[in-house]
């Protein structure tokens, strides 16, 4: 079996990355683990997030994945270096807030960054921010509770908390728009936040650019697969037993299932496993 890629997030947010991975690698097979039973990660200790990341990687390795995509900014910021040290031969690709792509887009040079508290506090993010000092003004906003609200809405379709939090956090960041001194570009630095795009658009209008990292992570994954000589494109046709996408959740599998159905454009007649419960 070749080119099997493991992907995980604290919950359903990583589906926004999985979508880009499936577009970039249409012949690859994926196992996606939503650690919803232990979400959110963004307001937990580094030790907790690292130990969850380790447990999930062990599970994915037992299922023979040949590469890992950490589809979570928080787990990447906190745990990727440790995981790379532990598994030097495994290609491990992470995701970080898209500050550089935002720089290329912003005209006003005032850029908003929404992310979890842990991501913003991490040494990895602080180093990235410092490396871009002087090139733009970054207005960073920790969005406590927003990933959790998005996670819950996938189970009950109630988006009122998401709307209220988006309003509160964008207001706290200041004025948005294309005039000098306004924020014209907003980085969605948590993989859950693209699922709040509709509400952010309502609040900010269409001229503010929302930037996330899915396509860049997918391109990077392709490069790493090729470097490791893992065929990204030569795959046998998936069959019933080799579903192209396996969905596992440490929380409610039904929530992951409906989120995937809503947010991943499943290919017609594609074999997909029904999301299953995972105990790790």
Among 6, 40, 112, 194, binds ligand DGL (CB under 6 A): 40
Task: Kindly provide the residue ranges of all beta strands, DSSP E only, lying in the chain, ordered along the sequence.
Answer: 4-9, 29-34, 67-70, 92-93, 110-115, 137-142, 185-188, 209-211, 245-249, 276-277
Q: Of 28 and 212, which has the nearer Cβ to ligand DGL?
A: 212
Say whether 166 is catalytic: no
Residues 31 and 4: beta-carbon distance below 8 Å: yes
Note whether 42 binds ligand DGL by CB under 6 A: yes
| Least Cβ distance, residue 208 to ligand DGL (angstroms) | 20
Note whether 190 binds ligand DGL by CB under 6 A: yes
| Number of residues forming the site for ligand DGL (CB under 6 A) | 17
Least Cα distance to 218 among 30, 55, 36 occurs for: 30
Given 12, 67, 69, 72, which residue is catalytic? 72
| Least Cβ distance, residue 39 to ligand DGL (angstroms) | 5
Residues near 131 by Cβ (< 8 Å), separated by ≥ 6? Answer: none
Q: Of 37 and 177, which has the nearer Cβ to ligand DGL?
A: 37
CA atoms within 13 A on the CB side of 52: 27
Q: In this structure, what is the dihedral angle of CA atoms 67, 260, 36, 99, given to the nearest 10 degrees?
A: 60
Residues 38 and 54: beta-carbon distance below 8 Å: no
Among 36, 66, 74, 221, binds ligand DGL (CB under 6 A): 74
Distance separating alpha carbons of residues 91 and 247, to the nearest angstrom: 21
Near ligand DGL by CB under 6 A, which window of 6-14, 54-62, 165-173, 200-208? 6-14
Say whether 190 is catalytic: yes
Given 190, 204, 232, 247, which residue is catalytic? 190
Q: Of 66 and 119, which has the nearer Cβ to ligand DGL?
A: 119
Select the residue whose beta carbon is closest to ligand DGL and give its number. 42
User: Which 128-147 residues touch ligand DGL, going by CB under 6 A?
Assistant: 147
Residues 260 and 31: beta-carbon distance below 8 Å: no
Q: Of 3 and 194, which has the nearer Cβ to ligand DGL?
A: 194
Query: What are residue 4's DSSP bridge partners?
Result: 29
Write out the residues near ligand DGL by the rule CB under 6 A.
9-11, 13, 39-42, 72-74, 116, 119, 147, 190-192
């Amino acid at each position: 079996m070749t080119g099997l890629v493991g992907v995980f997030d604290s919950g359903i947010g990583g589906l926004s990355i999985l979508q880009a991975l499936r577009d970039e690698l249409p012949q690859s097979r994926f196992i996606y683990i939503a650690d919803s039973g232990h979400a959110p990660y963004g307001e937990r200790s580094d030790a907790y997030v690292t130990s969850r990341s380790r447990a999930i990687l062990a599970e994915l390795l037992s299922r023979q994945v040949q590469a890992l995509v950490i589809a979570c900014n928080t787990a990447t910021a906190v745990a990727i270096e440790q995981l790379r040290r532990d598994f030097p031969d495994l290609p491990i690709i992470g995701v970080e807030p898209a500050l550089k792509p935002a720089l290329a887009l912003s005209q006003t040079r005032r850029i908003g960054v929404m992310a979890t508290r842990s991501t913003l506090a991490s040494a990895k993010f602080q180093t990235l921010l410092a490396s871009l000092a002087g090139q733009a003004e970054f207005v960073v906003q920790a969005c406590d509770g927003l990933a959790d609200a998005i996670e819950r809405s996938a189970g009950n379709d109630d988006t009122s908390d998401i709307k209220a939090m988006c309003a509160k956090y964008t207001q706290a960041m200041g004025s948005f728009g294309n005039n000098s001194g306004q924020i014209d570009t907003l980085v969605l630095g948590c993989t859950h936040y693209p699922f709040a795009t509709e509400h952010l658009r309502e609040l900010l209008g269409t001229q503010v650019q929302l930037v996330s990292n899915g396509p860049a992570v997918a391109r990077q994954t392709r490069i790493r697969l090729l470097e490791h000589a893992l065929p990204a494109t030569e795959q046998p046709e998936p069959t019933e037993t080799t579903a192209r996408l396996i969905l596992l959740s440490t929380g409610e599998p039904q929530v992951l299932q409906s989120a995937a159905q809503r947010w991943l454009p499943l290919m017609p007649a594609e074999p997909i496993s029904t999301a299953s419960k995972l105990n790790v």
